[in-house]
Amino acid sequence: MKLVSRGASKKSAADVYSNKGRWALSALPATHKAYNNYWYIETMGLKTRSHERHPHWLSLDHIVKVT
């Protein structure tokens, strides 16, 4: 099983064989373990579109606390 060979446990990988649908399966722990952000960056060439250096990011001083 590909998920297990990429580091997911057999038990968590078994959840993939359910009728939850593709979108729900993308949030399974086995999927995150096997295909994390690093895999997408290195293998698929994922580019980061936002970064803290960009002007749209606010420093912690400017964040409004909602309580």
Q: Which amino acid is at 7?
A: G
Q: Domain limits at 24? A: 2-62
Residues 45-63 have pLDDT tens digits of: 887 766 656 666 666 666 6
User: Into how many domains does the chain fold?
Assistant: 1
The tokens for 15 are 């959840």
Cut 0.95: pTM above it? no
In a domain, 67, yes or no: no
**Cα dihedral 46→28→7→3 (10° resolution):** -90
Nearest Cα neighbor of 11 from 1, 19, 20, 21 is: 1
**What is the distance of C-alpha 55 from the center of its chain?**
25
Residues 4-48 have pLDDT tens digits of: 888 888 888 887 777 777 777 777 888 888 888 888 888 888 877
